[in-house]
């Protein structure tokens, strides 16, 4: 059962990953995500179905447009593959939970937000707000089906608490943390809160840890200057995903250490 849910989620993820490529390109440029249909950015030929098969088309065409031979960035199949792998992992983790749709939505949104933040240093509200709405509705539904309203209450408190903490950090150091990160913290606090308090603390702390480690490495390796901005969203997203997927064993392990 778990393997089947993981496999179906993974295939679904490849297709969603292809859609996320469109979102990542168009949303920061204020373009519609439904029209025009997928086309080559160079020669603008509309892509046929056979040109649009996740990962496979890119490999078959050896990373070039079928019509004008322009090189197509390996980022496209990489995002499709990443989405497929993460969806399969979320499918395995939530194979016996009504919360599966909610955490697939969260995963897709965090991938789109992370890549947009890396490139444009923004976390668009056009993605954040609909994801907030979807998570509230889907996790309320999961709470109802699993008769666990406590989880939803905890999610709401965790979302508000994370927002308050991040807002305070932003207030003290607006350069260190943008307001996009503050908005993102509500989504992460809410989503992790539904799972448990250990997941909230672990997921957010791990996000800071990832950011600090990579930040220090980039400066040490002279890839970045100390003054240069490093987007924080992708690290928060990675920390949250770590605890969405592995929260239970990680929280158990941490509690075991404390004894």
Note the residues at the interface with Zn ion (CB under 5 A). 40, 42-43, 65, 67-68, 70
Nearer to Zn ion, 76 or 235 (CB): 76
User: Long-range contacts of range 98-101, CB-CB < 8 Å, 24 or more positions apart?
Assistant: 98/141, 98/142, 98/145, 98/146, 99/138, 99/139, 99/142, 99/146, 99/194, 100/5, 100/9, 101/138
> Pick from 163, 232, 160, 240: which is nearest to 199 by CA?
240
Residue 37: CB minimum distance to Zn ion, A:
14
Residue 215: CB minimum distance to Zn ion, A:
38
> Pick from 187, 199, 194: which is nearest to 148 by CA?
194
Distance CA 3, CA 18 (A): 23
Residue 62: CB minimum distance to Zn ion, A:
14
Nearer to Zn ion, 67 or 98 (CB): 67
Nearer to Zn ion, 43 or 223 (CB): 43
Residue 50 CB contacts under 8 Å (≥ 6 apart), including other chains = 57
Residue 69: CB minimum distance to Zn ion, A:
7
Nearer to Zn ion, 40 or 250 (CB): 40
Nearer to Zn ion, 40 or 128 (CB): 40
Residue 240 CB contacts under 8 Å (≥ 6 apart), including other chains = 110, 188, 191, 192, 203, 204, 207
Nearer to Zn ion, 26 or 39 (CB): 39
Residue 24: CB minimum distance to Zn ion, A:
19
Residues in the chain: 259
Token digits for 16? 């969603």
Residue 67: CB minimum distance to Zn ion, A:
5
Q: DSSP of 235-255, one letter per residue?
A: HHHHHHHHHHHHHHHHHHHHH
Residue 64 is classified by DSSP as: B
């Amino acid at each position: 059962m778990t393997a089947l849910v993981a496999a179906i989620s993974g295939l679904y993820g490849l297709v969603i990953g292809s859609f996320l490529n469109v979102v990542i390109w168009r949303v920061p440029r204020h373009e519609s995500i439904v029209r025009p249909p997928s086309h080559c950015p160079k020669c603008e030929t509309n892509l046929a179905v056979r040109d649009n098969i996740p990962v496979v088309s890119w490999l078959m065409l050896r990373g070039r447009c079928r019509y004008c031979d322009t090189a197509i960035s390996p980022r496209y199949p990489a995002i499709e593959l990443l989405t497929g792998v993460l969806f399969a992992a979320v499918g395995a983790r939530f194979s016996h939970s009504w919360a599966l749709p909610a955490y697939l939505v969260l995963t897709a949104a965090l991938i789109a937000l992370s890549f947009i933040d890396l490139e444009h240093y923004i976390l668009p509200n056009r993605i954040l707000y609909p994801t907030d709405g979807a998570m509230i509705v889907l996790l309320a539904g999961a709470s109802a089906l699993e008769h666990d309203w406590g989880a939803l209450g905890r999610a709401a408190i965790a979302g508000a608490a994370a927002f308050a903490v991040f807002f305070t950090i932003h207030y003290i150091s607006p350069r260190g943390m943008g307001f996009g990160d503050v908005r993102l913290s509500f989504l992460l606090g809410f989503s992790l809160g539904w799972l448990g308090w250990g997941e909230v603390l672990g997921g957010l702390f791990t996000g800071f840890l990832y950011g600090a480690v990579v930040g220090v490495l980039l400066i040490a390796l002279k890839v970045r200057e100390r003054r240069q901005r490093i987007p924080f969203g992708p690290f928060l997203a990675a920390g949250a995903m770590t605890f969405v997927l592995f929260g239970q064993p990680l929280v158990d392990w941490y509690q075991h250490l404390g004894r």
